[in-house]
Amino acid sequence: MNIEVLNEVSRRVLWLAVRMVDAANRERDTGDGVKVGGHQASSASLTSVLTALYLHHLDAADKVSVKPHASPVFHAIQYLLGNLDRKYLTTLRSRGGLQSYPSRTKDPDEVDFSTGSVGLGAAAPLFAAVTRRYVDAHFGERPNSRFVALIGDAELDEGNIWEAIVDPATTGLGNVMWVVDFNRQSLDRVVPGIQIDKWRGQFDAAGWHVAEVKYGRKLQAAFAQPGGEVLRTWLDAMPNEQYQSLFALSGEELRIRFLDGAPAGVAEFVAGVEDLYTLVTDLGGHDIGALIDAFEAADGEKDRPSVVFAYTVKGWGLPLAGNPRNHSGLLTGEQVAGLRAEVGLDETNEWDRFDAASPAGILCNSRRDALAKPPRSAALGVTVPTSTGLRSAKPMSTQEAFGRILVDLSRDPAVAPYLVTTAPDVATSTNLAGFINRTGVFAPEPRRAWSADPLVKWSEGPTGQHLELGISEMNLFLLLGQLGLSWDLSGQPLLAVGTVYDPFVCRGLDAFIYSVYSGSRFVVAGTPSGVTLAPEGGAHQSTITPSIGLELPNTTLIEPAYAGALDWLLCDAFGRIAAGPSTNPTAGPTEDGAYYFRLTTRPIDQAPFAAAKERLGEAVLRRQVLAGAYPLVASTVAGPTVYLAATGAVLPETLAAAEELAEEGIAAHVVDVTSLDRLYSAWQRTLRQGVRTATTPSVAGALRAAFPTRAPIVTVHDGASHAMAWLGSALGVPCVPLGVDTFGQSGTVQELYELHDLTPGSIVNAALAALSLG
């Protein structure tokens, strides 16, 4: 380990990070007057940490999450290693260039974990390690990986951090290390120094190894001198605000500020120190040797995660170091020129890598080779059946059908090994019990099952395929996100399934968004859903979740009413995940993300679906179900025509309304919408094509197949009415949307359907209104 060379690389990394932000703000004409932004000071505080990791500590199998505001530092290192083309250095925050924050899916260099929404990038490696432990137990050990998160101290204000570290699923992970950039500054405030005592206690209580890299080796040497302990005592006791202010001072002014309030003996001890600034600002988070020592000590903790508090200075090595307003501050052109000269560069070579023959160049090239990652594939290499053949002669809910389909798939020897489920303490009530009874609960070591209840007599051990979580929806979606990226981060694709009470999808929404933004692919069932969960009351009756599924990118909302349709749709989702993302540019739109199934506990008669299959034929019906909608009932009445489009649990009322309308001489065609998302996407594709080519868009094929004639439409949904209201616009016809636009209350399904105008009578009246508008 050559500290001098590492420090040289660190200074060049700092320069490139600063210059990237500088070029984005002072040399790029955005044409819109909007500030480009960037975080030179926040990048500077982590320069030493990232250099110590990438230029010395990490191996090729290690995975790292970089705090959002240190994005320029990460890209600077990748450039010096030869993993990023020079052309990108001037594209920070521009279209097609380097992203504001590290992104798995949008950055040109290889990012392990997306970051941006603070707190989530910290917890993601923890759940990636949970996934690796599972993969190793089921498929054989992979090359040893360390899962590292570099996080800002203010991120520890986020509640999801603490939800993650106390979850039973994350205990005992000795391959996890968090490095906290403890610069004691946030966006708008200085973080009180007392916080670290509280945080240390919380990590200790959660069973983590806690280390501090507080002082660099210069200060440690000073402390070891006779009388040096008084200096340590004063630095430990000095208010953080006072300490931060030292970085803007020099000479006698700094000495006076430093000694303000100091106990006896400090002035005498530093009287002979000529360069007091260099000594008292020598923090451990900028001492590469001290950092490496702490990282190696964390490696020695084999049975618990580690957190390293690295004391740093926000803006280290820059004129704005320690300034309380430096968060998004920018160096002036003169200051940039000064820094360029400091690192021995000029305008002709300011973007250059190190000379390949220099010690720094040799180090960078050797580290590039040492960190090279092998190719990975998201394709599972197995064929998922198109159907499990689920049949039912009795009324059945989609939640019950979901559980039965999973059990049937667990009997398929080709598919079963890759299925893994998880839930935040609601496995039984979301119908995972059958699957878990067959496969067991995952635990690193076998545990005795004490329950005599045959429904929850679950064995626990390394062969189990259900990952049990505490009650945290954030943890559910973070774990699903990492299970869905296991092909990349653990070298093993999986078929991951999560269940959650549908109202609480909102509680985990930030992590849901984070996971699909990162490119993860999984299945989540929100169940039970809607006001159809009648006796539970308004707090447990989800109404806005269909809109979340419809509007969330990389997510396909699916809400079938019938067990047979769910069978096809769930098997299709698994099949798409198993096949991996399409690499064929002519293949058309693909679904590379999550599948969100919105299910209910209401048993409904399966006969109408069987009749539609008989009428249309299985091949045609399956194709239309997967496309998003199909004609459940085609009226033969010769009279005014209206479409009744419904999704999910409200199909029985919709069918009853169609019968009443038929008695009144009105042809009411019933359309079962299985995926609003797929219909909407198809419509939008035709609209965009028309906009881009200045042509008149046609009605999308999937919509035209389900709604073959032009007629008014009534939409019926156990959710907010606006989620389906766009169908009128898509078809160019009058539309009367029915749905749930107020909070519900406890009662029977019938009572609540009356409250929200979802009864057959209300649907009939809505149809008459739609006809009058047409």
Residue 459 φ/ψ, nearest 5 degrees = -75, 150
In this structure, the number of other CB atoms found within 10 A of the CB of residue 230 comes to 18
Q: Which two tokens stand for residue 435?
A: 């699957």
Question: Which residues touch 643 (CB under 8 Å, ≥6 apart)?
Answer: 668, 669, 670, 671, 707, 711, 712, 713, 714
| 159-166 and 473-483 helices, crossing angle to 10° | 70
What is the number of other CB atoms lying within 10 angstroms of the CB of residue 544? 15
For the stretch 388-401, what's the b/e string if a residue is b when 16 or more beta carbons lie within 10 angstroms of its beta carbon?
A: bebebeeebbbbbb
* Encoded tokens for 127: 């759940």
Nearest to 49 by CA among 247, 326, 284: 284
Number of helices (H), then strands (E), in the chain: 31, 18
**b/e string for 167-202 if b means 16 or more Cβ within 10 A?**
bebbbbbbbbbbbbbbbbbbeeebbebebbeebbeb
- What region does 336 belong to: left with phi over 0, alpha with psi -120 to 50, or beta? alpha
Three-state DSSP at 129 gives helix
Q: Which two tokens stand for residue 198?
A: 């509280």
Look at strands 641-647 and 63-65 and give their pairing: unpaired
Q: How far apart are CA 346 and CA 358, in angstroms?
A: 18
| Main-chain dihedrals φ then ψ at residue 229, nearest 5 degrees | -65, -30
CA distance 635 to 758: 21
Edge-to-edge strands, sheet with 460-461: 460-461, 441-442, 466-469, 419-424, 495-500, 523-526, 594-598, 555-558
Q: Determine the Cα–Cα distance for residues 467 and 420; give it in Å rounded to an integer.
A: 7
What residue numbers does the annotated binding site for Mg(2+) cover?
153, 183, 185
- Residues annotated within a binding site: 153, 183, 185
